[in-house]
A = this chain, B = another copy of it.
């Protein structure tokens, strides 16, 4: 298992690679999130493109450096496109991230799509505690698309998902990255309590994870994106304590993050 500073060095390296390569990231996300996701990815250094129709999905995935699939507000056409792109990503070895928004017993249609998508082996699965827990077989119910569980309650159980993927990332008050490569769980601290008050932060985190995955391994990608958000959230909250102003400051700090800030503020723990 890597030592902590080695992991931090790799996160910094991933951040640098993101700035240098500005990878093209195909984002299939929901209608609530897509503007925000695009702005977060641009601010972080990536080049997002929201191509999500079944007529262009295959061709576009082939030229993308990474793919992000988020099930927030699926339509029939978008679902078709997701299945095409996930299959293409698997065949062409394009790294891809699955965000199973709303997975559970109530939203059966999307959950069935998620089950199909899993067969195309996402490199990383990212979700909140309720989604990941349900995906790992729990019967606990989420409340709509927001989590009713804490992230620290589910990471042990979530390890069973490593049969489908290289890495699982669970966001919450603390985030947990479950790595097959390192056979370890990494806890990421930071952020602030206002983040869940802004819609689509989780969706943007999933897309940013895909962006980092274009330039690094699954574990380092998940770690880097969660550290990126944790630091930006913490610094933004120091400058703005109300939700509208915090949201503006958060985008500022997602953009202003650099290797010095990562080294100074990163707060991770290997479990």
Interface residues of chain A, those whose CB is within 8 Å of chain B, are: 24, 26, 30-36, 38-39, 42-43, 47-53, 55-56, 59-60, 63-64, 72-77, 102, 106-110, 143-146, 196-200, 242-245, 247-252, 255-256
Contacts and interface: CB of A to CB of B under 8 A. Distances in A.
Contact of A31 (B34, B47, B255): B34
Contacts of A106: 56, 59-60, 63
A245 B47 CA distance: 20
Nearest to A241: B252
Given A56-B110, A59-B108, 13 more contacts: A32-B35, A35-B199, A39-B198, A42-B198, A47-B146, A48-B199, A49-B102, A55-B109, A243-B255, A244-B251, A245-B248, A245-B252, A247-B248
Contact of A243 (B32, B43, B60, B199): B43
Nearest to A110: B56
Given A197-B42, A199-B38, A53 B73 contact: yes
A251 B255 contact: no
A96 to B, nearest CB: 16
Per assembly, the copies of the chain total: 3
Contacts of A52: 73
A249 B255 contact: no
Contacts of A252: 242-245
Nearest to A194: B255
Nearest to A250: B244
Nearest to A248: B244
A253 to B, nearest CB: 8
30 contacts: A24-B144, A32-B50, A35-B36, A38-B200, A39-B198, A39-B247, A42-B198, A43-B244, A48-B144, A49-B102, A49-B145, A49-B146, A52-B73, A53-B73, A53-B109, A55-B109, A56-B107, A56-B109, A59-B107, A63-B106, A75-B75, A75-B77, A76-B77, A243-B255, A244-B247, A244-B248, A244-B251, A245-B248, A247-B248, A247-B251
